[in-house]
């Protein structure tokens, strides 16, 4: 029961005992009892808040048709989320900053209250929770696979005389579990050192867009050399200590933690200077406990749906604005400039949608002004949902609200004021029709404005949806919560009930993404696994001239159910 924030606060009370249990298992690696205890502890606690929120939403969804009171409460819950998103992204406008800030705080408080009521109502229908057992999870691990559960922990010293002696600085550790046998633990090193490598790796990957073809400048060759160096360093830190425990496993069910959630392990390089994608297939999980709930099902799935070639200036029901809106960003990048959050059209998304329609002829395609927020919220359990658009993620720094009107001279002369958005699900999202005109809807907080935040995504009806592809930039990033995954679009899609998610870790190229998606869907249609299909495309790109840099082939990562669409 309680709001998500209260759930997080409660989960934090178990941190010390979890850290102590992991420490003991690492200190006595030959003690199978401690290894099992630590493994069970992590598998029961890691990502538990996400599970609780997913259960809350899905349990209530199943009750809506038969319970009018529940439906009314749930509709209020979704409505407040929409109002909050609209208010944040339309900006301060003509209002005084303090009034604007107060409106947001009031809606946040209202959302918190409704979240508690939703949790209480959900608890009425919840079945008895069966404790997670190691044997149940092992039974879900394929014989050719290994589950790798990475955790960030603070080493525990029971003889410490004070807090600083009792708890050391954070480190990463990993537990490897096969279909049979005991769990095995290994310490990976200081979190600060590994996180530094992660940041360097992400930076060099994100700038790879200039490296196309074989004619590269000396500076670009230096950049390739830097990529190989950092990819090898990070592999030494994280994967090399694990390899002796993997045995003959070639499919890794990987549950990262901390900053390791934000990298594609496929692009690391092993001792033979090979990318890991060449020897391993990766499936990403929030926690190994996900293996017990991969098969969320719906009574009936509807046709696949694709949103593409979106008109960011207006939506079908909106009159075009006469104002000139400054457009920023590159035309061939699915990127975001957060100074004003406006977007240019993505030319390659139209042929991308046409290719998908050829592969899955029953697909419903929504283009231009029809690709609205209203349309996506009316969709119910599509077999596939493909959104080819701009994605965005705002960092957890305070963000400056939209500038006040030109007549408000006093406001302009004052020191700039900033709005701190605490909720990470409000800081990530997708752009739909009318996104660039949202600031013109100053007085109508209920009008949908083309901004689909992760908070709103969590309320979509996607129970049993077999595949959601966010063909956009940075859809896999978000706020990293140690022990509870990434708070962003992927988390929202899991809460909404989808089985499998394909999301990106950086700003991706428009045309390269179109080619990747067409090949991916062809392989899915041919019966390949939802993750295996992506790996095959990645290997094709790696061996091509135009897309061989990991910037192009490693940007998307697969999470959730890896099996074929028919399974």
SS3 310: strand
SS3 333: strand
Read off the pLDDT of residues 144-185 as tens digits, 9 standing for 90 and up. Answer: 999 999 999 999 988 888 877 888 899 999 999 999 999 999
How confident is residue 412, by pLDDT bands cut at 50, 70 and 90?
A: very low
Residues sharing a CB contact under 8 Å with residue 483, sequence separation 6 or more, in sequence order? 11, 15, 18, 45, 46, 47, 151, 152, 257
Structure tokens at 283: 């499936």
Q: What percent of the chain is modeled with pLDDT above 70? A: 81
Q: Are 469 and 292 in contact (CB under 8 A)?
A: no
The mean pLDDT value for 477-492 works out to 68
Structure tokens at 471: 């063909």
Evaluated on CA atoms 107, 55, 378, 502, the torsion sign reads positive
CA–CA separation, 420 and 298 (whole Å): 38
Read off the pLDDT of residues 256-307 as tens digits, 9 standing for 90 and up. Answer: 998 998 899 999 999 999 999 999 999 999 888 889 887 777 778 999 999 9
Residues sharing a CB contact under 8 Å with residue 425, sequence separation 6 or more, in sequence order? 453, 454, 455, 458, 487, 488, 491, 492
How confident is residue 326, by pLDDT bands cut at 50, 70 and 90?
A: very low
CA–CA separation, 539 and 453 (whole Å): 33
Domains of the chain and CATH, by start: 133-292 (3.30.420), 305-560 (3.40.50)
Residue matched to tokens 């149940």: 136
**β-bridge pairing 145-153 and 171-177:** antiparallel
CA–CA separation, 257 and 129 (whole Å): 25
How confident is residue 458, by pLDDT bands cut at 50, 70 and 90?
A: confident
CA distances 329 to 274, 341, 419, 474, 556, Å, are 34, 10, 24, 15, 21
CA–CA separation, 552 and 273 (whole Å): 19
- Classify burial at 319, counting beta carbons within 10 Å of its beta carbon; exposed 0-12, middle 13-18, buried 19 or more: exposed
CA–CA separation, 430 and 392 (whole Å): 6
Residues sharing a CB contact under 8 Å with residue 258, sequence separation 6 or more, in sequence order? 152, 170, 172, 191, 195, 480, 482
CA 411 to chain CA centroid, Å, is 37
- Classify burial at 446, counting beta carbons within 10 Å of its beta carbon; exposed 0-12, middle 13-18, buried 19 or more: exposed
pTM over 0.85: no
Q: What percent of the chain is modeled with pLDDT above 90? A: 42
Structure tokens at 42: 């992590």
Residues sharing a CB contact under 8 Å with residue 442, sequence separation 6 or more, in sequence order? 90, 93, 94
């Amino acid at each position: 029961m309680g709001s998500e924030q209260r759930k997080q606060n409660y989960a934090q009370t178990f941190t010390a005992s979890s850290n102590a249990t992991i420490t003991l298992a690492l200190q006595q690696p030959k003690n199978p009892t401690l290894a099992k205890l630590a493994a069970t502890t992590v598998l029961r606690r890691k990502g538990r808040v996400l599970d609780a929120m997913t259960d809350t939403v899905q349990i209530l969804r199943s009750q809506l048709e038969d319970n009018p009171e529940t439906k009314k409460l749930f509709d209020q819950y979704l409505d407040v989320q929409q109002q909050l998103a609209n208010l944040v992204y339309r900006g301060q406008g003509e209002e005084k900053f303090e009034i604007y800030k107060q409106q947001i705080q009031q809606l946040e408080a209202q959302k918190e209250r409704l979240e508690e009521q939703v949790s209480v109502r959900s608890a009425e229908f919840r079945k008895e929770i069966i404790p997670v057992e190691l044997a149940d999870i092992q039974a879900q691990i394929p014989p050719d696979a290994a589950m790798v559960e990475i955790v960030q922990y603070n080493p525990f010293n029971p003889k410490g005389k004070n807090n600083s002696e009792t708890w050391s600085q954070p480190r990463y550790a990993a537990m490897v579990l096969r279909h049979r046998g005991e769990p095995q633990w290994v310490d990976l090193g200081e979190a600060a050192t590994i996180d530094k490598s992660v940041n360097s790796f992400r930076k060099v990957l994100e700038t790879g867009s200039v490296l196309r073809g074989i004619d590269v400048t000396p500076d670009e060759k230096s950049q390739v050399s830097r990529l190989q160096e950092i990819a090898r360093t990070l592999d030494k830190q994280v994967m090399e200590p694990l390899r002796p425990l993997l045995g003959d496993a070639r499919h890794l069910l990987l549950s990262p933690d901390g900053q390791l959630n934000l990298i594609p392990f496929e692009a690391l390089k092993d001792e033979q200077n090979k990318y890991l994608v060449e020897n391993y297939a990766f499936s990403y999980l929030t926690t190994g406990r996900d293996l017990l709930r991969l098969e969320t099902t719906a009574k009936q799935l509807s046709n696949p749906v694709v949103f593409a070639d979106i008109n960011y200036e207006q939506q079908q029901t909106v009159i075009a604005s006469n104002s000139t809106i400054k457009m920023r960003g590159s035309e061939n990048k699915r990127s975001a400039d957060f100074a004003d959050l406006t977007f240019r059209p993505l030319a390659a998304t139209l042929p991308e949608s046409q290719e998908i329609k050829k592969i899955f002829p029953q697909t419903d395609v929504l283009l231009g002004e029809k690709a609205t927020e209203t349309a996506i919220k009316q969709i119910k359990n599509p077999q596939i949902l493909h959104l080819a658009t701009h994605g965005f993620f705002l960092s957890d720094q305070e963000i400056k609200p939209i500038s006040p009107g030109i007549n408000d001279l006093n406001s302009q002369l004052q020191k700039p004021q900033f709005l701190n958005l605490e909720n990470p699900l409000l800081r990530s999202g997708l752009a739909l029709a009318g996104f660039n005109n949202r600031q013109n809807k100053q007085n109508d907080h209920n009008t949908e404005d083309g901004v689909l935040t992760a908070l709103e995504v969590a309320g979509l009806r996607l129970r049993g949806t077999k595949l959601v592809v966010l063909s956009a930039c940075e859809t896999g990033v978000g706020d990293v919560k140690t022990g509870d995954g990434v708070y962003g679009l992927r988390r929202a899609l899991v809460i909404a009930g989808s089985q499998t998610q394909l999301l990106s870790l950086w700003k991706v190229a428009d045309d390269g993404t179109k080619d990747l998606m067409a090949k991916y869907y062809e392989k899915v249609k041919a019966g390949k696994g939802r993750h295996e299909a992506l790996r095959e495309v990645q290997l094709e790109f790696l061996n091509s001239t135009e897309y061989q840099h990991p910037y192009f082939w490693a940007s998307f990562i697969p999470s959730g159910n890896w099996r074929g669409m028919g399974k």
